[in-house]
Chain A
Amino acid sequence: MQGCRVVSEVSLSREETARLAELARLSLNDEELARIAHDLTEIIDYMEKLAGIDRAHVRPMSHVLDTVNAYRDDCAEPSLSQEEALANAPDRQGQFFRVPRIIDAGEAGEA
């Protein structure tokens, strides 16, 4: 799928770790960033062992069962009530969930 990276060359810098944190929407303080950068590097090195058994022709296993075609019929089922839907909302305005300012016009229209 995407480009390949030689595993043995991996060691995570603070900058890369910060970029990952942004991608994962996780705010981390400096101490956490440093700790995670170190932990990840160690864990990733450990996983290098897999290079020994990896074979390109092997089909990736995303599911352990070989079921296919799990469908349902196109029938409407009861929905939650509006109150149930909003019951756990941290911030709500009337019938809606409310969120603050959105800076990035984002994927609007993409999906």
Chain B
Amino acid sequence: MSGNADATLCDMTLHELHDMLLSGQVSSREITSDVLARIDEVEASVGAYVTRDRETALKGADAADEVIARARRDRDTGAIGALVGIPVVLKDNVCTRGMRTTCCSKMLEDFIPTYDAAVTARLREAGAVIVGKGNMDEFAMGSTTQTSVFHVTRNPWDLERVPGGSSGGCAAAVAAGEAVASIGTDTGGSIRQPASFCGVVGLKPTYGRVSRYGVVAFASSLDTVGPITRDVRDCAIMLKAIAGRDGRDSTSAPDAVPDYSSCVERGVQGLRIGIPEQFFGPGMTDGVRTAVERALRALEDAGADIVEVSLPLAEHALAVYYLVATAEASSNMARLDGIRYGYRPEGRGGMDVADLMSASRGQGFGMEVKRRIMLGTFVLSSGNFDAFYGRALRSRRLLAEDVRRALTECDCLVSPTAPTVAFRFDEEPDDPLAMYLQDIYTTLANLAGVPAISVPCGLADGMPVGLQIMGRMFDEATLIRAGRAVELTSGMDAARPKVGGCAK
């Protein structure tokens, strides 16, 4: 259980490994075996995974090796995609055909989809090696991965601290070398916040950039699917592989997918970086503030212009988010009734179907999920609809317009990703409202539909701090440029998690 100074394969970036695969320096089997060995070494402490399939992973690696060998023989290595032979982990709300997909809930504990999510299919087509499924908050409802029905995931930087959530398993896996890259989901910050806590890169794409088909829905108009990776270049590569229109998702955008990799080293000369005054108030800890301000100065030194902007409605984002998200969730969760699939309680003789459904759901769902379903049901119910849901939808438009207006005054908006670094398990608030305040910087991007990335920008008390960069609709390219500039000066190269380790 050591932070490895000489980078082992499982700690390298996707793009480095790709180059080594093409040159024949290393095989996918070697990479995958190294990842599997790291998992064996640290999983008992980190708990990033829910399901692992060693045999299928190695088979996938061998298949990738054959493809690469053939290409090298034919001197056509240019045809080998960047993801060929790369071991990845998928969050456990992303359907994988033949592999258990549980959303870390008792309700889906034994559910084995007979279909792949669109992103799963794209990754398979791209030759990626799927190692297994990442731990998460139950049905993506949470910010610490603690509501998983299986086990907690621990932050590889400090095992007494949370990894963040809801994509905590994926972020921890990438940080600890238990996967080279991963796919998570982000509804209110669930990719960005754990990425920030675990010192890795996490991107929430523009709504509609990546297909949601086969990703278990939490809040339909807020859910996005995106990469969690070791560095910004890896993020660009993963995004390219999964982005683009999908005919099975009506909300999937037809916009063309740019070559994100070519944006990585463009630099930030002349880029206008907006600092929303509402995000730099008293909400964050000193350690976070110091790291973020240092990153901003670095960006300025690199040629960016810092512009002060205002988001007067930002304080309402959390309320609007919870009203919209829980309302949609309460409806999306209705299909989980134990009839066609899912949990059914034992000893149910004599129950009629309505009681059986109630029992399946009452026992199959954890407390946080039930709480949100109840809130969502309340918000939509007759007599409450206009004062709550109607109000939330109107407010959402105001908030979205506020963000879009601010993004005409600058090219991107910057803030901390989270108000604190990863907190200790015994420190975390008992009160759901206080827990919800973790999402204060991140929910705005989901409400407006704009893309946002979290990039490690430094340490505070030995724990990673993430910088969030929000951009215009379909302008992930700017996030990648700016993210890379932050990455270059973050000083995170020398830093290592206690468990596993990231290399650049």
State the A residues within 8 Å of B (CB): 1-7, 12, 17, 20-28, 32, 35-36, 39-40, 42-44, 46-47, 49-51, 53-56, 58-65, 67, 70, 72, 80, 84, 87-91, 97, 99-104
Contacts and interface: CB of A to CB of B under 8 A. Distances in A.
B354 A6 contact: no
B365 A43 contact: no
11 contacts: A3-B382, A6-B387, A20-B378, A36-B374, A39-B432, A50-B323, A53-B395, A61-B397, A65-B449, A88-B111, A100-B352
Contact of B316 (A53, A56, A67): A53
Contacts, number: 183
B398 interface: yes
B24 interface: no
Interface string B369-391: 01101110110011111111011
Nearest to B393: A60
Given A100-B353, A103-B352, A89 B340 contact: yes
Given A50-B320, A90-B341, A103-B354, A24 B433 contact: no
A36 B385 contact: no
Contact of B394 (A2, A12, A35, A54): A54
A90 B391 contact: no
Nearest to A40: B375
Contact of B391 (A54, A67, A87, A97): A54
Contacts of B381: 20, 23
A98 to B, nearest CB: 9
Contacts of A39: 371, 432
A88 B341 contact: yes
A91 B390 CA distance: 40
B234 interface: no
Given A42-B433, A51-B391, A12 B378 contact: yes
Given A27-B359, A39-B371, A64-B448, A101 B221 contact: no
A58 B353 contact: no
B323 A47 contact: yes
Interface stretch (B247-255, B293-301, B485-493): B247-255
Nearest to A80: B114
B447 to A, nearest CB: 8
B458 interface: no
Given A17-B374, A25-B357, A80-B115, 19 more contacts: A3-B382, A20-B374, A20-B381, A21-B374, A25-B354, A25-B358, A26-B358, A27-B358, A32-B367, A36-B374, A47-B322, A47-B323, A50-B392, A51-B391, A54-B394, A59-B397, A65-B253, A100-B353, A102-B353
